[in-house]
Amino acid sequence: MDVRFLGRVDYEPIYAAMQALTTERIESTLDELWICEHNPVYTQGLAGKPEHIYNPGQIPVVQTNRGGQVTYHGPGQVVAYPLIDLKRAGYFVKEYVYRIEEAVIRTLMHFGVTGHRVAGAPGIYVRLDDPSGHALLPQRPVKLGSEPFRFAAGSDPNFTGPDFTGLGKIGALGIKVSRNCTYHGVALNVAMDLEPYLRINPCGYQGLQTVDLSTMGVFVSWQEVADVLSQKLTTYLAP
């Protein structure tokens, strides 16, 4: 996989470049991993609802074709865009998502923070009262056999939706797959101005708190986190 560090860039040119590469790629096209930081922007996924954005102010809102709802990108956040041929890699979309989340969890572990999955809500979360504790979440996804399984509406009569009690979201995930090839990706919060998250329902969830590593008492540079995350993604997304 060719890893490219793009620095701080506007969102829309990168979005267009991802689409172009995915449209033009052929069987022999190398997979790439783009690592960057964006200027402030709200992005809406295909399921995005306008009412989830209260007050964008001067921050632009960009409609995209990724999954999910609204999120924010801004300085102090590492954004990773894997551009992978899943057919060649040998795994399907559900496992792809699981592998990305695992890379984020391992990155957080490197910096002494424990990341968690929540049933029914892609992304990575941390305990607000014990960010380094290893106790399992009661609201974690369960497994059926050897396959990670997320609760979905109707799959369990007792499941009423994701439970974010005591948690903050530190990593957001939104992907697109076209002709078995991926784009969009994952964002990990390092040291941000978190105020723009207060103007939206992050990922469509009212009251969901968004945090970063500095909120958790971990003060590291953007580049340090970018280096570790890129290495973990390269490892966990390997065929």
Lowest-pLDDT choice from 111-120, 135-144, 162-171? 135-144
The pLDDT confidence band at residue 147, using thresholds 50, 70 and 90, is: low
Which residues participate in catalysis according to the annotation?
A: 203
Q: What percent of the chain is predicted at pLDDT more than 90?
A: 82
The answer, yes or no, to whether residue 207 has pLDDT greater than 90, is: no
pTM: 0.93
**What integer is the mean pLDDT of 148-167?**
66
Q: Domain span at residue 189?
A: 2-236
DSSP per position, the chain: -EEEEEEEE-HHHHHHHHHHHHHH--TTPPPEEEEEEE-SEEEE-TT--GGGBS--TTS-EEE-SSSSS-EEE-TTEEEEEEE-BHHHHT--HHHHHHHHHHHHHHHHHHTT---EEETTEEEEEEESS-TT--PPPTTSPEEETTEEE---TTTSTT--S---TTEEEEEEEEEEEETTEEEEEEEEESS---GGGGGB-GGG-TT--B--TTTTT----HHHHHHHHHHHHHHHT--
For the domain that residue 76 is a member of, what is the CATH number?
3.30.930.10
The count of structural domains within the chain is 1
The pLDDT of residue 140 is 86
Lowest-pLDDT choice from 82-86, 162-166, 224-228? 162-166
